[in-house]
Structure 1
Amino acid sequence: MELIRKMVLLMEEDPSGWAPDMNIEGYSPDQIGYHAYLLVDSGLATGSDVTPIGSSMPVYILNHLTSSGHDFADSARTQYIWDEVMEDMQKKGVVSAALDLVRKLLDTRIKKHLNAE
């Protein structure tokens, strides 16, 4: 989930609106290519399938975020909100969750913080 977040935020930061080169420290090109596929498959980004013949996993190159991708970026941008949601999931023994669910948890946490003020 952390790589998905980093990729979405990196794309949103680019002023051109197009996805920049996805070199993210600590992640291999294979990991990034597969997570690019996940972003496209989930509807958060558009991209192109560049999977080589014989590859053991799909590989995609990202083009740009969709409206849903920008919404996810808005929900995931604030570090302490992200950390709180990830920590809550860990405390409850949730190893992973669907992107849709994570976004809902982020949105709920944001609303909680806004209502507390």
Structure 2
Amino acid sequence: MICDLNLIRKLILAVEAGPTGYVQDEIEINGYSEEQIGYHAYLLINAGLANGIDVTTIADTSPQWTILHLTSAGHDFADAARDESIWQKATGIAKEKAGNVTLDVMKQILIHLINKTLGFDDS
């Protein structure tokens, strides 16, 4: 399964939008299967953006994890990715320059765009 950065963003923002900081119900995102969400939850946890638990069973075809809450790094990513216009610019840059990028590279692109928007970047 290919890492879908749009799903990563949607998951992070969905977790952050919860009222308590903890995920209390199964996360559902329109247009994505339970398997895709579980695998991308695994990617978020593996990248240190969230904490969670492994709920993979022998019948599953890919890692299935449940997110419990975001880490500080996950909140930082949410802050960087929240603005839709900045997200669109960042994904455009990523596709134009590299096709696919890692989560770390996407975060750096987002931070660069935010700094530029705030006038902290002269390039």
TM-score clears 0.5: yes
State the 1:90 CA deviation.
Answer: 1.7
Matched residue, 1:82: 87
SS of the equivalent of 1:89 reads: helix
Structure 2 segments unaligned to the other structure (5+ residues)? none
Deviations along 1:27-69, one digit per CA (max 9) or x if unpaired, are: 0000000000001000000000010014221000110000000
Q: Structure 2 CA distance, aligned partners of 1:81 and 1:38?
A: 23
Matched residue, 1:104: 108
Q: Structure 1 CA distance, aligned partners of 2:18 and 2:100?
A: 28
Confirm or deny that 1:51 pairs with 2:56: yes
Number of paired residues? 115
Q: Structure 1 CA distance, aligned partners of 2:27 and 2:99?
A: 25
SS of the equivalent of 1:58 reads: coil
State the 1:91 CA deviation.
Answer: 2.0
Confirm or deny that 1:71 pairs with 2:76: yes
Structure 1 segments unaligned to the other structure (5+ residues)? none
Confirm or deny that 1:32 pairs with 2:37: yes
SS of the equivalent of 1:71 reads: helix
Task: Report the TM-score when normalising by structure 1.
Answer: 0.93
Aligned-pair identity in percent equals 44
Deviations along 1:68-97, one digit per CA (max 9) or x if unpaired, are: 0000000000110000011112222x2221
For the 8 Å contact 2:94–2:106, the answer to whether it is kept is no
Q: Structure 2 CA distance, aligned partners of 1:3 and 1:88?
A: 18
Q: Structure 1 CA distance, aligned partners of 2:26 and 2:61?
A: 22
Superposition RMSD in Å: 1.2
Q: Structure 1 CA distance, aligned partners of 2:19 and 2:99?
A: 34
Q: Structure 1 CA distance, aligned partners of 2:30 and 2:60?
A: 23
Task: Report the TM-score when normalising by structure 2.
Answer: 0.89
